[in-house]
Structure formats: C-alpha cells, structure tokens
Chain A
Amino acid sequence: ETGVTQTPRHLVMGMTNKKSLKCEQHLGHNAMYWYKQSAKKPLELMFVYSLEERVENNSVPSRFSPECPNSSHLFLHLHTLQPEDSALYLCASSQDITNTEAFFGQGTRLTVV
C-alpha cells in the first residue's frame, strides 16, 4: 500500500479528448510533483507544487494543465494531446521542496491515439 495513489492506472485517449489524472497523498507532505517518463528517456520533472502554489514549470506545453486544490491532491488536466505525449506519468510527494525524501505513486500509463 503506497502513501501516494494515482488514478487511473491506464488511460487511452484521442487527440481531441479532455481527461484528468489524479494524485492523492496520505503522508502529510507539503510538496507534490508531476514527472513524465517516456520510453528510453530519463524521468522528466514537469511541475512542482509547494503548499498548493506552483513553484516550478519545466517548460511544459500548455496542453498539460496542473491543479493543486490542497496539499493532499494534485491533478493534471490533459487536452488536445499528441501521440508523442504517450508516456508513464508519475506523481510524487515530499515533506517540502528542500532536500527531503520523495515518494512516488504507481503511475498512470497514458496512450494518445
């Protein structure tokens, strides 16, 4: 049982669809992250939230829109994606955004058709 839960685990969507990925952490952490893992590439940091405020946006296209309504929940809203956006999307949390241990969810495997 992980302290960070992501839903859905798998998602197939068309390029004109709108969908959302959800992440919930039960660890009492103040920082949450979205990472993207494409085939044959290292994990790429997308967004960082600290106390519900976005502190990092790593040059991510606007078709990815994050939302952090409270310190326990993080969403990634998706619209008009491209096939190259197909990847494993991982959510993580840590106590804060300074050098503390990060814990990851199970990931959402996204396929854009």
Chain B
Amino acid sequence: GIQVEQSPPDLILQEGANSTLRCNFSDSVNNLQWFHQNPWGQLINLFYIPSGTKQNGRLSATTVATERYSLLYISSSQTTDSGVYFCAVFGGATNKLIFGTGTLLAVQP
C-alpha cells in the first residue's frame, strides 16, 4: 500500500517564526489533505489539496503530485498553532485515506 512519511517528526518554534512541514508519499494519489489535531483530539481540516497551491490566512500548502510530496507552510506562528499536523492521502486501488505519522509542533511564547 501507499506509504506516507512526514518530516520533521517534532518541531519547536518561537512565536512569530515560520516553518515548513513536509509530506512524502510513495505512489500517485487522487486526494491529499492536511489536518491539525488539537489538544482535545479533534482533527481540523486545513487543506484539501491534491495538487497546486492554496492559502488560508497564515497557512498555505503546495502539492506537487508528479514528485509525490506536499508542503505545509506556517508563517508568523502562534501558540495556538501547537499540536500535531497530519497529512493523509487517498490513492491507489483502495478506498482508504492513509495517514502519515504526523509532525508534533510546539510554539513557545
């Protein structure tokens, strides 16, 4: 099946800093989503981005499907950005949204 790897696994930032999170996947995909998991466990949809670039406030994402990776950019980070960021892909011959292992982000004041 498709393998999804995220990097870095952990990231500590000072408030106001920028960061880039990466998601690599091993096969062609039809769908890619980025999620933020808050401290209470809920997965918040950030982007639905099978290809191209999207922006939403301080967050933006780019997926290069032909090269099998996606990037999530966080600018001017805030403490409320802390949590785990997951990418998930849907592809191949299965009806499955496959999750990466996540990036744990801690933004310090």
A residues contacting B by CB (< 8 A) are 2, 33, 37, 42-43, 45, 48, 50, 55-56, 58, 88, 90, 92, 97-107, 109
Give chain B residues whose Cβ lies under 8 Å from the Cβ of A48.
95-96
B residues contacting A by CB (< 8 A) are 30-31, 33, 35, 40-43, 45, 48, 50, 86, 88, 90-91, 94-102
CB–CB A103/B45 < 8 A: yes
Nearest-neighbour CB distance to chain B for A52, whole angstroms, equals 15
- Nearest chain-B residue to A55 (Cβ)? B95
CB–CB B50/A88 < 8 A: no
Which of the residues A88, A97, A101, A109 comes within 8 Å of B95, measured between beta carbons?
A97
> What is the interface of chain B mostly: helix, strand, loop, or mixed?
strand
5 A–B pairs (Cβ distance < 8 Å), ordered by A? A48-B96, A98-B95, A103-B45, A107-B42, A109-B41
Given the contacts A2-B42, A90-B43, A109-B41, A102 and B96 also touching, CB distance less than 8 Å = no
